[in-house]
Chain A
């Protein structure tokens, strides 16, 4: 069906470079999530695929076809907008039908259009609302109308720009699931933009992390989480975020076992790092720290109870660290100095100058 590929694509608005030399292959039937902070160029990348924004440099392909100069109307693509962009003057039925009516390619007959509207409405549980106007629907219902309008034309590629950001938290969780089910059922390529890493982690086949218009890392969610390619990804993915501290690799045999020396203690290294750098940034996820160890020493600032687990906020040198603790373990007292144990195997090391991961 349809893959989408960016080949050294750049998009500039005057002096701002919104998307910078992006090379990315979205495979057919993949659920690709473009993840990054606001303003990083996600929407711009998506709009280039849609044909709503021109490509300044590079080549953009859908399937085998180069689409740089193909009109938006001829790309066989649906898009769900953050604001849903429903036509306020049309009923739900007319809204869903709109792509079938407006198309300048073979326009389906009325009976077939009605059948397809009905089908899309059934998929999204909209049948009872077909004769209402968008103004009479709740946010979640409007969102589903936007989805129905997107699926009714059976495009090869679906684009979604933060489609859940206008929903409340509970509805968002529920819709996440529905979106993934929809993707499985449609067997189409989804490209989904969000700044919310939870959405990315829970839905994506692969995540593309973007910062400042540049691609940082692509990979399956777990791989990105387990081996962040650089400091940005390490800090952006994961909640609570990865704990970081600057340190030095102590590799002199006289000093005893291999370790990273930091201002708050030493972190043991099971295997020598594949670098001869001296200075590094060490990163440890909250779940890889153990209270009561003796590698590092920190001061407890606060204890956040979440019910099923507990986050212990600590002062680690100049930084705030978070330690994840099971609910059944004894909680430390606020103000207490505690020792932390580190599992060296789960340590991430980064080059402080290039910010890249040290493999």
Chain B
């Protein structure tokens, strides 16, 4: 009992510190909401900057981001592109991981090294050569159509080494007895993959799906140069549209930024544990 008072004092101290840190972390978000709610001209011509929204407050900024800002189509493009990339990356990674974890075949080591080495060749390094290639085959051009744009946005990311090795690690965690039991039960390789290996490693695969979603949806550099017409802008690219030169729509850019972050935020809140496991894979044990 005697230690209760100082304990409570310490706890209050921690709460104060944690709250202060939370305010600092969240402050930029608040500023973005405040500017999204402010009238653009008021923002541009405010003499002393304020942390509060400038009046008249524009409650409709978020809906106008869709109507005047045309955010609907980029969201659809982003959704489709993300869906394709996540589905393809998961499928290709599961397949390749299975081969690396459970099958014996000639040149296995070399193939593994070649896959791992692609981690050294991020899209930023190969950017201009890849754009060149896609221009030559007609996927990247000012007149690119819907299919071409989607192709250009997704093709380089249909497979990716990080996922292969993450999921392979998960597969290697399956006890040998379980594999043997499955073989005696009569499962073929593909049957074992579908009915046992994938369900058993679902946590790992789930984490990977989240990570893949995050990086596919948040991409900027590759879409920036593979999409040559703003008809097929992704959400991230659409954020460039709202400049200072159009005071009427200035706040829509900030509203759009909030909207753009929402899907990932929802994922973060719903699948916090899995997402964190994915993000920390490789960092700790």
B180-199 contacts to A, CB under 8 A, are 180-188, 191, 195-196, 199
Docked-complex contact B200 and A89, CB < 8 angstroms? yes
Which residues from B are CB-within-8-Å of A52?
A: 180, 183-184
Closest residue of chain B to A150, judged by CB? B184
Interface residues as binary, A60-96 with B (CB distance below 8 Å gives 1, 0 otherwise): 0000000000001100011101111101111000000
Docked-complex contact A81 and B180, CB < 8 angstroms? yes
Docked-complex contact B184 and A89, CB < 8 angstroms? no
Across the interface, B175 reaches (CB within 8 A) one of A79, A83, A89, A105, namely: A83
CB distance from B102 to the nearest CB of A (A): 14
Complex: A56 Cα to B100 Cα, angstroms: 26
Q: Chain B: how many interface residues by the 8 Å CB criterion? A: 18
Asked if A185 lies at the interface with its beta carbon under 8 angstroms from chain B, I say: no
Complex: A137 Cα to B175 Cα, angstroms: 19
Which residues from A are CB-within-8-Å of B195?
A: 102
- A89-B200, A89-B202, A102-B195 are contacts. A81–B177 as well, Cβ < 8 Å? yes
Across the interface, A102 reaches (CB within 8 A) one of B175, B180, B191, namely: B191
Interface residues as binary, B164-188 with A (CB distance below 8 Å gives 1, 0 otherwise): 0000000000010110111111111
Docked-complex contact A99 and B185, CB < 8 angstroms? yes
Complex: A105 Cα to B183 Cα, angstroms: 14
Docked-complex contact A73 and B184, CB < 8 angstroms? yes
CB distance from A196 to the nearest CB of B (A): 20
Docked-complex contact A82 and B177, CB < 8 angstroms? yes
- A52-B180, A83-B177, A85-B175 are contacts. A98–B185 as well, Cβ < 8 Å? yes
Which residues from A are CB-within-8-Å of B199?
A: 87, 89-90
Asked if A50 lies at the interface with its beta carbon under 8 angstroms from chain B, I say: yes
Across the interface, B184 reaches (CB within 8 A) one of A50, A82, A88, namely: A50
A20-48 contacts to B, CB under 8 A, are 47
Interface residues as binary, B94-111 with A (CB distance below 8 Å gives 1, 0 otherwise): 000000000000000000
Docked-complex contact B186 and A77, CB < 8 angstroms? no
Complex: A50 Cα to B183 Cα, angstroms: 10
Across the interface, B181 reaches (CB within 8 A) one of A51, A85, A89, A105, namely: A85
Docked-complex contact A85 and B187, CB < 8 angstroms? no
Across the interface, A88 reaches (CB within 8 A) one of B180, B183, B191, B200, namely: B200
Which residues from A are CB-within-8-Å of B191?
A: 102
Complex: A85 Cα to B196 Cα, angstroms: 12
Asked if A104 lies at the interface with its beta carbon under 8 angstroms from chain B, I say: yes
Docked-complex contact B175 and A103, CB < 8 angstroms? no
B23-46 contacts to A, CB under 8 A, are none
Which residues from B are CB-within-8-Å of A82?
A: 177
Complex: A229 Cα to B188 Cα, angstroms: 44
Docked-complex contact A102 and B200, CB < 8 angstroms? no
Complex: A208 Cα to B195 Cα, angstroms: 38
Docked-complex contact B186 and A81, CB < 8 angstroms? no
Closest residue of chain B to A94, judged by CB? B195
Complex: A32 Cα to B187 Cα, angstroms: 28
Closest residue of chain B to A77, judged by CB? B184
Complex: A89 Cα to B182 Cα, angstroms: 13
- A89-B199, A89-B202 are contacts. A81–B182 as well, Cβ < 8 Å? no
B139-184 contacts to A, CB under 8 A, are 175, 177-178, 180-184
Complex: A81 Cα to B177 Cα, angstroms: 7
CB distance from A240 to the nearest CB of B (A): 34
- A87-B196, A88-B200, A102-B195 are contacts. A73–B177 as well, Cβ < 8 Å? no
Docked-complex contact A102 and B177, CB < 8 angstroms? no
Which residues from B are CB-within-8-Å of A104?
A: 186, 188
Complex: A79 Cα to B178 Cα, angstroms: 11
Complex: A105 Cα to B185 Cα, angstroms: 11
Closest residue of chain B to A80, judged by CB? B181
Across the interface, B186 reaches (CB within 8 A) one of A47, A50, A73, A85, namely: A73
Which residues from A are CB-within-8-Å of B180?
A: 47, 50, 52, 79, 81, 85
Closest residue of chain A to B181, judged by CB? A85
Which residues from A are CB-within-8-Å of B182?
A: 87, 102
B197-251 contacts to A, CB under 8 A, are 199-200, 202
Interface residues as binary, A95-136 with B (CB distance below 8 Å gives 1, 0 otherwise): 000110011110000000000000000000000000000000
Interface residues as binary, A326-341 with B (CB distance below 8 Å gives 1, 0 otherwise): 0000000000000000
CB distance from A312 to the nearest CB of B (A): 44
- A89-B199, A89-B200, A102-B195 are contacts. A72–B183 as well, Cβ < 8 Å? yes
CB distance from A243 to the nearest CB of B (A): 40
CB distance from B201 to the nearest CB of A (A): 10
Interface residues as binary, A229-244 with B (CB distance below 8 Å gives 1, 0 otherwise): 0000000000000000
Closest residue of chain A to B199, judged by CB? A89
Complex: A90 Cα to B181 Cα, angstroms: 14
| Minimum-distance CB pairs A-B, first 9 | A85-B181, A85-B177, A102-B186, A103-B186, A89-B199, A99-B185, A81-B177, A102-B185, A102-B187
Chain B residues with CB under 8 Å of chain A are 175, 177-178, 180-188, 191, 195-196, 199-200, 202
Given A99-B185, A102-B195, 20 more A-B residue pairs with CB atoms under 8 Å apart are A47-B180, A50-B180, A52-B180, A52-B183, A52-B184, A72-B183, A79-B180, A79-B184, A84-B177, A85-B177, A85-B180, A87-B199, A87-B200, A89-B196, A89-B202, A102-B182, A102-B185, A102-B186, A102-B187, A104-B188
Instruction: Report 10 cross-chain contacts, Cβ distance below 8 Å, ordered by A residue.
Output: A72-B183, A73-B186, A73-B188, A79-B180, A82-B177, A84-B177, A87-B182, A89-B200, A102-B187, A105-B186
